[in-house]
Structure 1
Amino acid sequence: MDLSSLLDYVNEANLAAFFGLLTGVVFGVAAQRSSFCLRAATVEFARGRLGPRMSVWLLTFSTAVVWVQGAQSLGLFRAEDARMMAVAGSWSGAVIGGLMFGAGMVLARGCSGRLLVLAATGNLRSLIAGLIFAVVAQMSLHGWLAPLRGALAGLWVTPSGRNINLLAALSLPDWSGVLLGLAVAALALVLARRNQIGARVLVFASGVGFAVALGWVLTFSLAQVAFDPVSVTSATFSGPSAKTLMFFLVPDAVPEFDIGLVPGVFLGAFLAAAVSKELRFQGFEGIGQMRRAMAGAALMGFGAMLAGGCAIGAGVTGASIFVATAWLAALCMWIGAALTDFFVDQPKTGRDSA
């Protein structure tokens, strides 16, 4: 049964939400079993190590690029139809928001996606921080912080009302995206072997990248046959967290891909943790840790909405289709995280021992 026939039985909004749920479950399982975390990778890098977390992140990033660019070569997806490519991007938002998000994820000890995965395993610290992230993201999207976000984002935007495809801007052939992904994957496998990472972890790390491609292909396929407009999107946790929060608070909210994504990740991570017997309650170790997590979550909530995506949305999903501002935001997230670790955490642990 093709999608056109399926729409005779399921309306477009509910089918989009189901696709989000499916993408989220795949992402949640893979992220929980691989311990995928941008914050951990940036800390390793900031401390002069190319360790296991860095290997996992590079493999996730590279496989997302390969899967997405490969799907585009096969005609299963078009990057120019993606929501984040079809709207104007903000250079200023990518820089300011990226730096804020990077600092926030170090303070909160996890990016927004990682917090959601950990919350599903019983980590109450991540649950509280994740809720604060969602509330601040919603405030930045439509609430009190929206004017400030709009002013900062409007300082410097991409021309012509659209974002910029880096491959096209650099006049590179379409296959160069796949080539870059394969090169980064080779580096990731070399580092994985050096760090003695098992094949199972590598498969699940690749699964996170596959989930990103799955979201792109599913929403693109639905957009081709749906009567009403359907956003072509994939895994990200800034907008979806805010929308999911409002979905459960507002009675007339409409289902969509973003609404299914967050519960899907939670469900996938919960099931993976249950099977591996890693479910356990964890709380804050003290008031200082609580304050730090709350401040970090707030920085991430505003920073992600300003940057146009979180560590996943910009750093993997947007980067996989070579959205220019997503690459800039991801770079600034790395810089913000490294600087925060250097000035906040390393003095406590001792830079010489890091």
Structure 2
Amino acid sequence: MASRSSALRYYILVRLLLAPLMIWTITTVVFLLLRATPGDPIDALLGPRAPQEAKDILRGQLGLDAPIWLQYVRYLGNLLRFDLGSSLSSQGETVWQIIQNHFPATVELSVCGMVVAAVVGLGVGAIAASRPNSALDAGGRLFGILTYAVPMYWFGMILQLIFSVQLGWFPIGTRYPLSGTAPQGFTGLYLVDSLLSGNLAQFGTAIYYLALPSLTLGILISGVFERIVRVNLKQTLRADYVEAARARGISERRIVTAHALKNALIPVITVLGLTFASLLGGAVLTEVTFSWPGLANRLYEAISERDYPVVQGLMVFFAVIVAVISILIDILNAYIDPRIRY
């Protein structure tokens, strides 16, 4: 036990030391790619027909006239001071302010989408694995393939056409009606703030506007969990201890829910955490399709506007989230499964 604990501590220490290297690599790649792709942020700000003298003045004010290596050194120096910079297109708005204003919307959408994905994916995968070589098993496979292959933006638009345009059950987009007063609170999460203030009407409205984007995101992600659960649960159901449980007369449902499913969920935890981390930083298509005012949508706008500081700052922020969550997932797996060695 002592040797395993020391090995785990050593592994965690190595991961913590490698995390800054990963963040630095992502930062460097994004910095170089932004400057290698066609387009000029000054043209995006002033327009291509602006006088060249005005362009040169603004370029000097923003520090974009300096050599690339000097811009890179300045940027790394700002990062070491936790200064992510300020937006070029929104004068006076810092990247930290953008994160504060838009990140709660992304968190809310990602959490609700993950809940839908976990419930649907684990349920379909468990049912399919418990009935091998049956119609349910074939249906589970088809579900996993379709949810993986269908483009998210196309699926979102189809749901909008059906449930918003044709049936009128849900709003087409946005996070809250413009005519209403959004929940106010320190978290920025409408569901949480409305509950803390005791305003159930605002809570219901927030759920109403969140439902369709969450279903879109959750259903398409659920296929990943379905495939992992189905494959691992099938292998677990062939284990010796499962056969012994069947020989003792334990019902198949209890074997699946109380014994096999718990062991089959170990790899799911890893995928669950990393998928959630990627959602926090990459639910761009869903947010753009539903005009969701989240951080991924803001990143899409910054890329379109060639807003270097915002793109770089948000990518660093997302990289830190992925690094932290991946380390936490590894630690959680080690404590859940004592067979894991480092």
Tell whether the structures are fold-level matches, with TM greater than 0.5. no
Return the TM-score normalized by structure 2.
Answer: 0.27
Q: Which has the higher contact order (CA 8 A, sep 6+)?
A: 1
Question: Bigger radius of gyration, 1 or 2?
Answer: 2
